[in-house]
């Protein structure tokens, strides 16, 4: 149980932001992330808005038509069903703790102090 919890926390805290930086993740990866975020929203409803924001971050600027196409693909369904099946076997209490840990690690990254600019506007290097 501890190993699945560790994997779950890693996926919640690291996978979504990593995937968000990619062009467009594979349908299977999107299915996995969506399954995790949906499950976390169910077991930790007070943070549901944050999980929805993570999903929007992952899919980026994809149109609803693109998302519908991806969600209808076999790879998406396979990833979603695989993770959903595994998550349904975990206890709600352990899952809620893992989801909360993922949320808190995400918030810590957001709240981390930024490098001071000393009043200067940040300019891209040429």
pLDDT at position 25, please? 85
**Residue 13 sits in which domain range?**
2-109
Query: Quick one: tokens of 78?
Result: 């396979």
Residue 9 maps to a domain: yes
Residue 121 maps to a domain: no
Categorize the per-residue pLDDT at 122 as very low, low, confident or very high, splitting at 50, 70 and 90. Answer: low
Residue 114 maps to a domain: no
pLDDT digits (tens, 9 = 90+) for 39-89: 999 998 888 998 898 898 888 888 899 999 999 999 999 999 999 999 989
pLDDT at position 8, please? 55
Number of domains in the chain: 1
Q: Kindly list the distances between the CA atom of residue 59 and the CA atoms of 21, 51, 72, in Å, as whole numbers in the listed order.
A: 10, 13, 15
Rounded distance, CA 1 to CA 3, Å? 5
Average pLDDT of the chain is: 77
Residue 118 maps to a domain: no
């Amino acid at each position: 149980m501890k190993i699945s919890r560790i994997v779950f926390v890693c996926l919640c805290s690291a996978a979504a932001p990593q995937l968000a930086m990619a062009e467009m993740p594979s349908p299977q990866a999107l299915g996995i992330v969506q399954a995790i975020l949906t499950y976390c929203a169910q077991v930790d409803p007070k943070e549901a808005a944050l999980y929805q924001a993570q999903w929007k971050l992952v899919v980026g600027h994809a149109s609803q038509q693109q998302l519908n196409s991806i969600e209808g693909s076999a790879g998406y369904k396979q990833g979603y069903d695989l993770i959903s099946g595994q998550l349904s076997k975990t206890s709600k209490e352990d899952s809620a703790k893992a989801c909360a840990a993922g949320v808190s690690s995400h918030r810590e990254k957001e709240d981390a102090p930024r490098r001071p600019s000393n009043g200067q506007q940040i300019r891209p290097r040429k």
